[in-house]
């Protein structure tokens, strides 16, 4: 009886429209929940069946919604305990000069003459370098915290690629020796020395014989013709067999426990590129020293709109998640010379753009490509590498000599990766407007294949601190060669920073005579601003974060006017002096005609 009554009540309820709707909604929710749950299960099953590299990429997407390169939970700070890869015994110094990275003074006339000859030939003093041991000791200038990190026991293997062209003997071989001396041997798959068509005798049979002492750990690859640094590096990567390719210049010395800190972030995420802190080695005395002063002073890589590499303090947003000052941190770009990258990821990215020639722009091509295509770049404070900065470039570009190689390279990068932001490069470098970048269809196809993000995304999420120092540039009002017809001279940044602006014979090649004056009154040559200093005009660093000034060009009177001083640029009757004088419409030495100058490919 009770059951019959309950059944009758349910039938009456079901006849009500609201009850039926609520029931259908509940059933729909249950079905949807079951579908989502099943999909997650299938997704996790597919992750297990993929390659190890793909497994990690998918897991990283699921667990870390931040940009690649965040803190690594598998790298552990041990407090007062020594880290697991730290050397247990100190290196034993030789009895040769330069130990502990100390400078080697040369005071005798014969030695100084030999040093000058060596510097002219190689760009640095190999006479001094030849006195120093291949395995010399250098100071450990890492932050103190670096001695107390534990890195994963199983790290990826490395192929170290060193490209050289007519390099000095001891700087080149000391690079190789330092890698083998200060790296865990189980991590070094090989050192690949790429000879980019050298013609110096010591880099032929003598080098081949020397590397046999390393029992196959070091190989020499020779290009068939002069390729330039960029393509030669890609060749080196293609000859590599390690899981990671690590590029060093041919005049470096790696520091204590430099390698594990570079590899740990790549082990965690194969799409992260790592960059060591670059220390300086004096090109004359061979002294090893910090470039940044304090080992705890960290800077990330950015750029100004002419694509010159700059550095700035790391942002608060980036420091917020770092518990220790010695932890890696993200960087929008890098200087280009020294870095480590997963070999297969580098291959997926197409190595370097094959259309880039010799050197110049490759660090931006790779930086933009990595970030926009799903990877990241981190600077690693616990990895230090010393680098010799040449006093000059001691060799030519070979078959590319006389061509605007760097401008062509930059235009390839700009046209491939920078989207609408390319206009700011062309505002800063208007002479490059007509430079033909060549065929970039393969690069655009790669960008499409990898489903890379826009440059706008890159600027807003990665390089957001660039605009604080280098705002978007307003259009140029006038630019080019500013010629004074009365004297036949052109305005010229004479050299030196700070240094005077003068007027010299017009040469038609741009360079220091290529002046820009934008619609907001800032006048500049290259990256340098031209400002009033009394009655003189001085070239100096632009005030960061500004794009305005006090200059204007009157097209009617042809005068360049300083609005604050109410004076005009005036060329002297003789000599190269330029001053600010009271504006007078009939003063012919205050009149300038602007002629735009365009580079050709």
Task: Give the pLDDT band (50/70/90) at residue 496.
Answer: confident
Residue with the bigger pLDDT between 143 and 50: it is 143
Q: What is the C-alpha to C-alpha distance for residues 544 and 468, in angstroms, rounded to an integer?
A: 7
Average pLDDT value for residue range 439-448: 96
Average pLDDT value for residue range 23-37: 49
Say yes or no to pLDDT of 549 above 60. Answer: yes
pLDDT the model gives residue 297: 86
Neighbours of 381 (CB within 10 A): 23
265 near 259, Cβ under 8 Å?
no
In the chain the first and final C-alpha atoms are separated, in Å, by 99
Q: How many CA atoms lie within 13 A of 15 on its CB side?
A: 6
Say yes or no to pLDDT of 100 above 70. Answer: yes
pLDDT the model gives residue 269: 96
Neighbours of 15 (CB within 10 A): 9
Helix, strand, or coil (residue 499): strand
pLDDT the model gives residue 64: 37
Tokens at 124, concatenated:
């640095």
pLDDT the model gives residue 424: 97
Say yes or no to pLDDT of 553 above 50. Answer: yes
pLDDT tens readout for residues 301-332: 999 999 999 999 999 889 888 899 999 999 99
Average pLDDT value for residue range 586-590: 95
Average pLDDT value for residue range 548-559: 96
For 301-358, the DSSP string reads: EEE-TT--EEEEEPPHHHHTT-SSTTS-EE-SB--SSSEEEEHHHHHHTTSS-TT--S
Q: What is the C-alpha to C-alpha distance for residues 154 and 169, in angstroms, rounded to an integer?
A: 35
Task: Give the pLDDT band (50/70/90) at residue 337.
Answer: confident
Q: What is the C-alpha to C-alpha distance for residues 574 and 578, in angstroms, rounded to an integer?
A: 10
- Strand boundaries in 238-293, DSSP class E: 244-248, 252-254, 272-281, 288-289
pLDDT the model gives residue 283: 94
Can you state the percent helix, strand and coil of the chain, rounding each to 5?
35, 25, 40
pTM (predicted TM-score): 0.85
Q: Which residues are annotated as a binding site for Mn(2+)?
A: 249, 251, 387
Average pLDDT value for residue range 190-202: 96
Spatial CA neighbour of 330 closest among 69, 57, 65, 143: 69
Say yes or no to pLDDT of 595 above 50. Answer: yes
Q: Which residues are annotated as a binding site?
A: 196, 226, 249, 251, 359, 387, 390, 395
Q: What is the C-alpha to C-alpha distance for residues 263 and 342, in angstroms, rounded to an integer?
A: 9
Task: Give the pLDDT band (50/70/90) at residue 235.
Answer: very high
Average pLDDT value for residue range 554-566: 95
Percent of the chain clearing pLDDT 70 (strictly above): 88
* Least reliable range by pLDDT among 53-62, 292-301, 470-479, 536-545: 53-62
pLDDT the model gives residue 24: 53
Average pLDDT value for residue range 218-241: 94
Say yes or no to pLDDT of 10 above 50. Answer: no
pLDDT the model gives residue 20: 53
Q: Which residues are annotated as a binding site for substrate?
A: 196, 226, 359, 390, 395
Identify the top-confidence range among 44-58, 284-298, 449-463: 449-463
pLDDT tens readout for residues 78-97: 998 999 999 999 999 999 99
pLDDT the model gives residue 44: 38
Task: Give the pLDDT band (50/70/90) at residue 397.
Answer: low
């Amino acid at each position: 009886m009770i059951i019959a009554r309950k059944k009758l009540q349910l039938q009456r309820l079901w006849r009500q429209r609201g009850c039926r709707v609520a029931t259908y909604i509940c059933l729909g929710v249950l079905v949807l929940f079951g579908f989502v749950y099943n999909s997650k299960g299938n997704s996790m099953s597919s992750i297990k069946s993929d390659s190890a590299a793909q497994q990690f990429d998918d897991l990283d997407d699921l667990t870390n919604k931040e940009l690649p390169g965040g803190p690594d939970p598998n790298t552990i700070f041990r407090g007062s305990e020594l880290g697991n890869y730290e050397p247990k015994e100190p290196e034993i110094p030789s009895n040769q000069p330069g130990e502990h990275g100390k400078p080697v003074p040369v005071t005798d006339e014969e030695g100084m003459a030999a040093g000058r000859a060596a510097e002219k030939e190689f760009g640095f003093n190999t006479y001094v370098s030849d006195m120093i041991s291949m395995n010399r000791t250098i100071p450990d200038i890492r932050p103190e915290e670096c001695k107390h990190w534990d890195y994963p026991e199983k790290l990826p293997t490395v192929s170290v690629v060193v490209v050289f062209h007519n390099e000095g003997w001891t700087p080149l071989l000391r690079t190789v020796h330092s890698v083998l001396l200060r790296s865990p041997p189980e991590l070094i798959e090989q050192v690949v020395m790429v000879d980019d068509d050298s013609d110096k005798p010591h880099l032929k049979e003598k080098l081949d014989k020397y590397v046999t002492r390393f029992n196959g750990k070091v190989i020499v690859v020779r290009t068939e013709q002069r390729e330039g640094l960029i393509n030669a590096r890609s060749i080196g990567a293609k000859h590599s067999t390690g899981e990671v390719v690590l590029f060093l210049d041919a005049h470096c010395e790696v520091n204590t426990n430099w390698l594990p800190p570079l590899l740990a972030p790549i082990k965690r995420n194969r799409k992260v590129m790592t960059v060591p802190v670059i220390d300086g080695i004096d090109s004359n005395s061979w002294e090893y020293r910090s470039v940044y002063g304090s080992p705890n002073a960290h800077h990330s890589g950015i750029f100004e709109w002419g694509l010159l590499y700059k550095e700035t303090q790391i942002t608060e947003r980036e420091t917020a998640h770092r518990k220790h000052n010695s932890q890696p941190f993200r960087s929008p770009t890098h200087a280009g010379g020294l870095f480590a990258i997963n070999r297969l990821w580098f291959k997926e990215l197409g190595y370097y753009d094959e259309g880039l020639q010799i050197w110049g722009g490759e660090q931006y091509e790779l930086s933009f490509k990595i970030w926009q295509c799903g990877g990241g770049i981190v600077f690693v404070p616990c990895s230090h590498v010393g680098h010799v900065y040449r006093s000059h470039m001691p060799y030519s570009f070979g078959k590319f000599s006389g061509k605007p190689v760097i401008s062509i390279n930059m235009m390839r990068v700009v046209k491939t990766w920078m989207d609408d932001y390319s206009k700011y490069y062309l505002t800063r470098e208007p002479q490059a407007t007509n430079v033909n970048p060549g065929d970039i269809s393969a690069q655009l196809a790669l960008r499409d294949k990898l489903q890379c993000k826009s440059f706008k995304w890159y600027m807003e999420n990665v390089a957001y601190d660039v605009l604080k120092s280098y705002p978007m540039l307003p259009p140029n009002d006038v630019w080019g060669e500013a010629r004074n017809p009365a004297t036949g001279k052109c305005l010229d940044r004479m050299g030196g920073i700070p240094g005077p602006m003068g007027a010299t014979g017009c040469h038609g090649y741009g360079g220091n005579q290529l002046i820009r004056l934008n619609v907001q009154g800032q006048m500049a040559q290259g990256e340098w601003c031209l400002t009033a200093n009394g009655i003189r005009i001085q070239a100096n660093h632009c005030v960061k974060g500004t794009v305005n000034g006090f200059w204007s060009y009157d097209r009617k009177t042809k005068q360049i006017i300083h609005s604050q001083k109410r004076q005009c640029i005036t060329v002297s009757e003789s000599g190269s002096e330029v001053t600010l004088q009271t504006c007078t419409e009939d003063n012919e030495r205050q009149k300038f005609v602007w002629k735009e100058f365009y580079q050709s490919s």
